[in-house]
Amino acid sequence: MKSRLGKVMLWLWTTILILPSVALAGAAKTAQIVIVADTRKFTGWEAWWTNLYNESHLYFTLLTIILIPAIGLAFGLMADLVMHFIGLDLKSRELAEH
Amino acid sequence: MEWLYVLMPIAGVKIFWPGLIILGVGVGIIGGFFGMGGAWMVTPGLNILGFPMAFAIGTDIAHMAGKSLISTMRHGKFGNVDYKLGLIMLVGTVVGFEVGAQMVMWLERLGNVDKVVRYIYLALLAFIAWMVFHDVNKRKAKDRAAIAAGREVDKLATGIDWAKSLHKLKIPPMVTFKVGGFTCSAWLPIAVSFLTGWLAGILGIGGGLIRMPSLIYLVGCPTHVAVGTDLFEVAISGLYGAGTYTYKGRTELVAAVVMLVGAAVGAQVGTVATKYIKGYGIRIVFGIAVVGCMISIILKLMAKWWPAVGAYFDGAATVVILGLVAAMSLYIFFKMVAGAKRELAAKKAKA
């Protein structure tokens, strides 16, 4: 009984350790870092965006740090509307530490 | 199934976009609930989806800034954000972080600092986990004692009272934090934020994991206010981090925006869940998250101890983290749904 339990545990540990690395093997293939964005694959706004990245990291950064809070704010307000539609009270809470 | 993949313009890799949304939802829920950025969860997730590590970190920080802003908005409406405290702590955090980062560079010149950092991180997480569960046990003991004595259980009582002792230090200027509901020397939050920022700088993490319990146990914030105030800080410091990483060319904004779609929903779920879960409930789940994080770091250390089987341990560490994110997100989601159902039913009964 004890040895059977040992075998089961050994099996379990082997599965826990081996399975994830087999499943994640694909991730290892993408280790290279692209320094220059390949603009040839894109058209429209994507081409403009990649060109901006290649031409000026400063403008690219400025635009990114303006866009992130702006998009966050827009999504936040949209989510607000949806939550109000559900009918929950979203302006107060009663629970404290207990 | 080609439509499920999108080519990232900067990183140049094809990414499974529903994976980004799912990751966004998960980290939005957990971040909104615990008041932290969650870089320790997202970075390995993005790496699995196919991002090179450098892009994974930059993209994570960019998305973290937007997501924390969404959560802060919601927490602000609940009255969970002490903006005054957040701004004071921001100063200490930034200075501490820079000092910590410089210290790591100095240590790197002396030798391999990587292992030391991991051990410090592990010790710190062990201390936080001990602190949380010790607090919970002390609180339960207080409740039991009150019931045994026939007294009413104090709903505002806490297990660990370190903050009360620290509030007795009357070093001017004294500041009153209305939302937090306490008065203390301004040097207390500055010192605590400097310490947590310094540790975050040394460990190379965002710091929410350290700052949130520090706000509770050292500064003396109620749990909900600690969560909201920490998120306010993460939103600002995340934007700063996003700026520096983007300038180095390591941010994939398209991925960050796709993740924000999921995070906008997740952040609402996580934040609204704090309305239905008591302060100590949040602390217990946070303690479990810290223990999960510890296990994953131990597995990463084991990968370094035994390089021959290191890949297996590395894989297991990632799975532990993502499994934890999935399990906790589901728990918080179901708690939120149950609470919302109760609230709507009560409203209906009243009407």
The answer to whether residue B61 neighbours chain A at the CB level (below 8 Å) is no
Same domain, A43 and A26: no
Token pair for B111 = 């030798």
Binary contact (B242, A46; C-beta < 8 A): no
Range of the domain at A89: 39-98
Same domain, A16 and A56: no
Calculate the average pLDDT of chain B: 87
Whole-angstrom distance, CA of residue B347 vs CA of residue B216: 33
Same domain, A21 and A68: no
How many domains, in total, are found in chain A?
A: 2
Buried b (16+ CB within 10 A) or exposed e, B193-230: bbbbbbbbbbbebbbbbbbbbbbbbbbbbbbbbbbbbb
A-facing residues of B in 26-45 (CB < 8 A) are none
> What ipTM does the predicted assembly reach?
0.77
**Of B109 and B19, which is predicted with more confidence?**
B19
Binary contact (B156, A98; C-beta < 8 A): yes
Same domain, A25 and A56: no
The answer to whether residue A88 neighbours chain B at the CB level (below 8 Å) is yes
What does the pLDDT look like over B96-122, one tens digit per residue? Answer: 888 887 887 777 777 766 677 778 888
CA distances from B227 to B32, B42, B72 (A): 8, 19, 9
What does the pLDDT look like over B273-289, one tens digit per residue? Answer: 888 888 888 889 889 98
> Contact, B269 vs B332, CB < 8 A?
yes
- What 3-state class would DSSP assign to B81? coil
Q: Where are the alpha helices (DSSP H) in A1-98?
A: 2-23, 44-55, 57-86
B-facing residues of A in 68-87 (CB < 8 A) are 68-69, 71-73, 75-76, 78-80, 82-83, 86-87
User: Which pLDDT value is given to residue A21?
Assistant: 55
Same domain, A47 and A77: yes
Closest CA to B62 of B290, B237, B317, B221: B237
Same domain, A53 and A87: yes
Binary contact (A97, B153; C-beta < 8 A): no
The answer to whether residue A12 neighbours chain B at the CB level (below 8 Å) is no
Tell me which amino acid residue B208 is.
G
The answer to whether residue B224 neighbours chain A at the CB level (below 8 Å) is yes
Residue A69, preceding peptide bond in cis (omega within 30° of 0): no
> Contact, B314 vs B297, CB < 8 A?
no
CA distances from B79 to A54, B13, B75, B267 (A): 44, 42, 6, 16
The answer to whether residue B16 neighbours chain A at the CB level (below 8 Å) is no
Domain spans, chain B: 2-350
- Show residues of chain B in contact with A98, CB under 8 Å: 153, 155-157, 278-280
Binary contact (A92, B79; C-beta < 8 A): yes
Say whether pLDDT at B4 is over 60. yes
Q: Shortest Cα distance from B125 to chain A (angstroms)?
A: 23
Q: Shortest Cα distance from A6 to chain B (angstroms)?
A: 21
The answer to whether residue B267 neighbours chain A at the CB level (below 8 Å) is yes
Binary contact (A53, B153; C-beta < 8 A): no
What does the pLDDT look like over B185-200, one tens digit per residue? Answer: 999 999 999 998 888 8
The answer to whether residue B300 neighbours chain A at the CB level (below 8 Å) is no
User: Which pLDDT value is given to residue A24?
Assistant: 52
Same domain, A26 and A62: no
Task: Give φ, ψ of B15 to 5 degrees.
Answer: -120, 140
Buried b (16+ CB within 10 A) or exposed e, B52-80: bbbbbbbbbbbbbbbbbbbbbbbbbbbeb
* DSSP H or E segment with residue B5: strand B5-7
Binary contact (A73, B253; C-beta < 8 A): no
Beta strands in B20-68 (DSSP E): none
* DSSP H or E segment with residue B313: helix B310-350
Tell me which amino acid residue B137 is.
N
- Stated length of chain A: 98
Binary contact (A64, B272; C-beta < 8 A): no
Integer-rounded Cα radius of gyration of chain B: 21
Same domain, A22 and A63: no
Same domain, A21 and A57: no
Same domain, A25 and A2: yes
What does the pLDDT look like over B298-348, one tens digit per residue? Answer: 888 888 888 888 889 888 888 888 888 889 999 999 999 998 899 889 888
Closest CA to B300 of B130, B133, B125: B125
